[in-house]
Amino acid sequence: MVFSSLLFLFFFLPIVLISYYISPKNIRLAVLFIASLIFYAFGEPIYIFLMIFSTIIDYTLGILIFKFKNDRFLKIFFLVISITINLSLLSFFKYSNFFITIVNDLFNKNFSLLNIPLPIGISFYTFQTLSYTIDVFRENISPQKNIISFGAYVSLFPQLIAGPIVTYESIERDINNKNRETEALFNDGVCRFIEGLCKKTLLANNIGYLFETLRSNNLNSISTLTSWLCIIAYFFQIYFDFSGYSDMAIGLGKMFGFNFNENFNYPYISKSITEFWRRWHISLGSWFKNYLYIPLGGNRVKHKYFNLFIVWVFTGFWHGANFNFIIWGIYFFILIMIEKMFLLKFLERSKILSRIYSLFFIIIGWVIFVFEDKNSLSLFLSKMFSVNNFIDREFLYYFKNFFIYILICILFSTPLMNNLKLKLPKFISNTFLILCFILSIAFIVNSSFNPFLYFRF
């Protein structure tokens, strides 16, 4: 079940909100926990048991780590069990076919692929439960004694299947506060949810349709400008799809009294790749920084670039079980390493050239990201920089028909529209939001193209 569906908007969400707010405050987390399990069951009922298993394991290990906090051996032992179980489950379901393929290729074997369906959101909730036991080990937090409260944290349906990654430390106060819900927070959540829904349905879906249409064509005959139009469409689709989902998740969280951290901060206005990754998928970057980069030594050791390399390999691998994702991670590692070594000081001197530089390499990064087949990847890149067949009728046709969408996407990927909203009277901005909501519903009713890109991760 996706947020931008009639089933969710007019059936599931209203029933959950009503059930939640008519319930006594001391059982609201239980209501939310049950609702989250039902939400997850719409996609993959059998994998509910996997998530419950992870919940019970890390709940128990968190208590044991805290109980034996003065016994360093047992404390480390229980943490190692948590890390091993979590990463083993993630590796089995997400990467088993990848490793089997490597073994078959290297040793000329013919082992059958498992072809196990990937549990939706496993990359997200695994990192959440793992960060919990690590933070208990570090004594940054106290273990949650109520398993229902901990279960609600793990399975919170607003951010369960596509993030943002929420650490227990960031919402511990909300989890334990029975008076967390306020009218102002709820109203803010509704507005934020509608903003995300509009991003998803009005921008991501429509510009995504352009990308899928152009991508489905024969890449051998695609013109240079058509290839650029194609990847620029994806450039905007993935941003508005994922940031729209994050806005909806943050908005839903507020409706239930939870304050999730921001996940996007206008990444396409960045003046460097380093800045881009401070603004894009912030929760993932923070997770790798706090739970991998810093434990490796961070910037404090001579081999800081090796630490950075490890982080970016894992960042790429987290996104998918394919070599293009690893290449994508290494690609950004190289750019960030060069920036840290000498390039940043030059980029800071120019506002225009630095942004052109950033946008160019971000776009090339999305090419690596979206084309999993190496032949398609190399062919598409060659078409982007070909002087032959530079322009064709296909480009002119689609550019003419999608020009307005591209222009709107440019405007809404910068702070300009948000700054304008803040200057307008509340009545006008709310009226505009309501009209956009109605338009979004109309698009949902009439459109069959409504994917969520990050479900696959």
* Alpha carbons within 13 A on the beta-carbon side of 184: 0
* Alpha carbons within 13 A on the beta-carbon side of 275: 19
In this prediction, residue 451 carries a pLDDT of 65
State how far the Cα of 449 lies from the Cα of 205, in Å rounded to an integer: 7
Q: Could you give phi then psi for residue 432, rounded to 5 degrees? A: -60, -40
* Structural contact between residues 144 and 59, judged by C-beta atoms closer than 8 angstroms: yes
Res. 111 pLDDT band, cuts 50 70 90: confident
In this prediction, residue 456 carries a pLDDT of 58
> How much is the mean pLDDT over the chain?
92
State how far the Cα of 220 lies from the Cα of 197, in Å rounded to an integer: 36
Say if residue 12's pLDDT is above 90.
Answer: yes
In this prediction, residue 130 carries a pLDDT of 95
Average pLDDT over residues 79-103: 93
Average pLDDT over residues 257-283: 95
In this prediction, residue 457 carries a pLDDT of 56
* Structural contact between residues 121 and 94, judged by C-beta atoms closer than 8 angstroms: no
State how far the Cα of 422 lies from the Cα of 271, in Å rounded to an integer: 25
Residue 319 falls in the annotated catalytic set: yes
- Select from 118, 149, 152, 120 the least CA-distant residue to 42: 120
Average pLDDT over residues 208-236: 93
Catalytic-role residue among 28, 215, 319, 383? 319
457 DSSP assignment: -
Average pLDDT over residues 328-354: 93
- Select from 162, 167, 89, 152 the least CA-distant residue to 124: 162
The residues spanned by each domain of the chain are: 6-180, 185-271+348-456
Q: For the ranges 102-106, 126-130, 139-143, 410-414, which has the lowest average pLDDT?
A: 102-106
Q: At which residue do the structure tokens 């990050």 appear?
A: 454
Residue 240's H or E segment, with its range, is helix 224-255
389 DSSP assignment: S
In this prediction, residue 109 carries a pLDDT of 83
- Please provide the size of the chain in residues: 457
In this prediction, residue 2 carries a pLDDT of 86
In this prediction, residue 83 carries a pLDDT of 96
Q: Report the percent of the chain where pLDDT is more than 90.
A: 75
Backbone φ/ψ region at 281: left (φ over 0), alpha (ψ -120 to 50), beta: left
State how far the Cα of 437 lies from the Cα of 429, in Å rounded to an integer: 12
Average pLDDT over residues 264-280: 96
Task: Tell me how crowded residue 183 is: count the other CB atoms within 10 A of its CB.
Answer: 7
- Select from 149, 157, 147 the least CA-distant residue to 177: 149
- pLDDT of 348-401, one tens digit each? 888 899 999 999 999 999 999 999 999 999 999 999 999 888 989 999 999 999
At position 184, the amino acid (one-letter code) is A
Say if residue 275's pLDDT is above 60.
Answer: yes
Say if residue 341's pLDDT is above 80.
Answer: yes
Say if residue 324's pLDDT is above 70.
Answer: yes
Average pLDDT over residues 187-208: 94
Say if residue 195's pLDDT is above 90.
Answer: yes
CA distances from 182 to 21, 179, 192 (A): 11, 8, 15
At position 207, the amino acid (one-letter code) is I
Say if residue 317's pLDDT is above 80.
Answer: yes
- Select from 147, 256, 102 the least CA-distant residue to 192: 256
Say if residue 455's pLDDT is above 70.
Answer: no
Task: Tell me how crowded residue 131 is: count the other CB atoms within 10 A of its CB.
Answer: 24
In this prediction, residue 449 carries a pLDDT of 66
68 DSSP assignment: T
